Amino acid sequence: MVGVGEVCGWSCLVWEVDSRSVVNGKKKNISGDRAGGRLEDSGVTRRRRRGLLGWYRKHFRALPWRVEPGRGRAPGSRKQHPNPYHVLVSEAMLQQTQVATVIDYFKRFVDEFSTIQALADADEQGVLRAWQGLGYYRRARNLHAAARRIVEDHAGQIPDSVDALLSLPGVGRYTAGAITSIAYGQRVPVVDGNVARVLARWHGISEAVDTTPVIKKLWQLAGHHVPKSRPGDFNQAVMELGALVCRPGVPDCGACPVARDCHAHQTGQASALPVLTKKAAPKKVTHHTLAVRHGRRYLFVQRPEKGLWSKMWELPTAERLAGRPGGDQLCAWADRQLGLRIDSPRRVSGFTHQTTHRRIDFVIWTATAKSSMNTKGEWRALGRLNDLPLAKPQTRAIAAIQADEITD
């Protein structure tokens, strides 16, 4: 059984080499250079890299944070490399979010904060507001904190070393690799979900790719593959291959530049790989959002520094009321948590919001405050929320309250 192993001729690289693979319960020989060899470049390796880079030049998506691959670029030259600030912003946005969603957000963001200095000078609420709708708001706060650190400690220059990048808030190994290879032309690997899927299939990795030892091996494999010349293009080529051709589920092997050497394709396992560990089912919880009105204004509060939607604003929301609370419990909660006496709340509507780990049923209530004095937060008319960053469930809750106002 082939473990985490190199069995193709692409790099002559061996982890745990066995010249046989199991296909439908039967062992199959992988002949010649596919059985592995020494950990070094070969003519085969260079040819495969060229094939992949040629495919990328032809098929790459022209995205606003990219430059055309290889155009007039001398190895190590910063000419023609994308702006490191654009790479940093795009990589922060692309974590957990699809390219198609990110494009418009990226354009608006770099329009509003055109340099690292402009981002560092901005206030956090403005940055969160620009991020509104992208989700995972910690990314925005980390990016903002990283910009301030870059201005303070690196004279406004985005570092070109992996170690310096890793010391910045929110920058992990993947982002550091993307910036150093794509923006600075250094021979540094990247492994994201797309790269992991391509490498797992290409090399016939049958262990779960989201376990620590396999992740470590994927980084080693990626580090071996990335060339000295055009490392940024190469890394992007592998990621693009994962996004466009070697997709989750059933890959389009007929359009793949490495199909000839791909273990999974050769052995009929392409759609069975990569293997992932089973994730726990999302936890079901209920949040009660209370739109408290005083005159024409509603109370908004800021969420705490830590946790889900940290530092975003919201209509006050009770997250830990047991069972199916009625108006009396909500009155008591408002008194206790907000220092606010309210008339008995009325239930307006509800919806479900899914996060990575939780399935949240939102119940939306409305109530009238007896006074607006001595409360935490801000009283705002619903038409004057432009400067308050609001997560998606809150925009839905506000829309429900607006619709209720019309019909009430």
Q: Min. distance of Cβ 257 from ligand SF4 in angstroms?
A: 8
User: Angle at the Cα of 192 (from 187 to 196), degrees rounded to 5?
Assistant: 95
Containing 222, the helix (H) or strand (E) segment is helix 212-225
**Shortest Å distance, C-beta 37 to ligand SF4:** 20
Q: Which is nearer to ligand SF4, 257 or 345 (CB)?
A: 257
Residue (90 or 266) nearer to ligand SF4, CB? 266
Chain residues in the site for ligand SF4 (CB under 6 A):
198, 201-202, 245-246, 251, 253, 256, 258-259, 262, 264-265, 270
CB of 254 to ligand SF4, least distance (A): 8
- In the block, tokens 């606010």 appear at 340
Closest CB to ligand SF4 among residues 216, 247: 247
Count of Cβ atoms closer than 10 Å to residue 162 Cβ:
16
Q: Give the Cα separation of 122 and 129 in Å (integer).
A: 11
Q: How far apart are alpha carbons 172 and 175 in whole angstroms? A: 6
State whether residue 169 is helix, strand or coil.
coil
Q: How many residues does the chain have?
A: 408
Burial of 218 (0-12, 13-18, 19+ CB in 10 A): buried
Shortest CB 89 distance to ligand SF4, Å: 29
Residue found under tokens 């790719």: 209
| For ligand SF4, the closer CB: 259 or 291 | 259
Of 54 and 327, CB closest to ligand SF4 = 54
The rounded distance, in Å, linking the Cα atoms of 243 and 56 is 12
What DSSP string describes 57-116? Answer: HHH----TT---TTTTPPTT--TTPPPHHHHHHHHHHHTTS-HHHHHHHHHHHHHHS-SH
Q: Which is nearer to ligand SF4, 165 or 243 (CB)?
A: 243
Q: Whose CA is closest to 397, among 354, 356, 353? A: 353
The least CB distance from residue 263 to ligand SF4, in Å, is 8
What b-and-e string marks burial along 303-341, b requiring 16 or more CB atoms within 10 Å of the CB? beeeebbebbbbbbbbeeeeeebeeebbbebbeeebebe
The verdict on whether 91 is a catalytic residue reads yes
- The CB-of-240 to ligand SF4 minimum distance in angstroms stands at 12
Catalytic residue among 91, 112, 152, 240: 91
In the beta sheet, which residues pair with residue 283?
358
> Is the Cβ–Cβ distance between 146 and 170 less than 8 Å?
yes
Task: Supply 348's token pair.
Answer: 């307006």
Q: Which is nearer to ligand SF4, 273 or 369 (CB)?
A: 273
CB of residue 242 vs ligand SF4: minimum separation in angstroms? 8
Distance (Å, rounded) from C-alpha 285 to C-alpha 210?
A: 27
Q: How far is the CB of 215 from ligand SF4 (least distance, A)?
A: 19
The tokens describing 137, both together, are: 């708001």
Smaller CB distance to ligand SF4: residue 247 or 283?
247
Which amino acids are annotated catalytic? 91
